[in-house]
Amino acid sequence: MRLKDKVCIITGGAKGIGEATTMKFIEEGAKVVIADIDIAAADILVAKIKSSGGDALAIKVNVTNKESVAEMVTKTMDKYGRIDVLINNAGIILDATLVKMTDEQFDRVIDINLKGVYNCAKAVVEIMIAQGSGVLINASSIVGLYGNYGQTNYAATKWGVIGMVKSWAKELGRKGIRAVAVCPGFIDTPILAPMPQKVIDGMVAKVPLGRLGKPEEIAATYAFLASDEAGYITGVAIEVGGGVTL
């Protein structure tokens, strides 16, 4: 088990890619803090994990609120005494073209997808420095690298995450802390449910591998990056998109 006894916080860990990541980390022997705004979903997942012998804790968190994030860290430390990995997975989309986008849409996505990543990293970094080790894994997107129609706000946040990762890698490397970004492509999650099939078919047509990605494939990437096997990887943005950007 590559993550045996590592304490890992996963924001947005109760659903979609976050849920797949939680289950992958449990499989790899981690102790997982499922930090999610939907505490009911987090509680259900914890019950499932405990019934199979895993170790997990559900914590309600609003990543835009520093007090909520601080409480998440305090509860994690009270139970486990350390934090080895933070996965900044929580995020939303509120799409619109530049002409139609409202300030509220822009600000909300920035607050969760960018400021939320900052808030969570800020809250754990001194603990990791004191430990002399830690991994900050952050959800970006291929949209952050290449942009996308109707996603000014989302693209800005995902590009910003990459910039933060590169800065953190430079600042924290000598303190034993790695920082990386993962850039998923088109992944088959519930977020696609409202989309017409023809739109999904159009997305798939752009992918050289000829299919949507699976949440478990992003989870596996996170697990590798969190492990000691990735000990010399930092400051990079890794695309997991089936070649869609070629």
Query: What is the rounded CA–CA span in Å between residue 214 and residue 20?
Result: 9
Catalytic choice (118, 146, 149, 154): 154
The answer to whether 232 is a known catalytic residue is no
Query: What is the rounded CA–CA span in Å between residue 61 and residue 64?
Result: 9
Query: What is the rounded CA–CA span in Å between residue 222 and residue 21?
Result: 7
Q: Which residues are catalytic?
A: 154
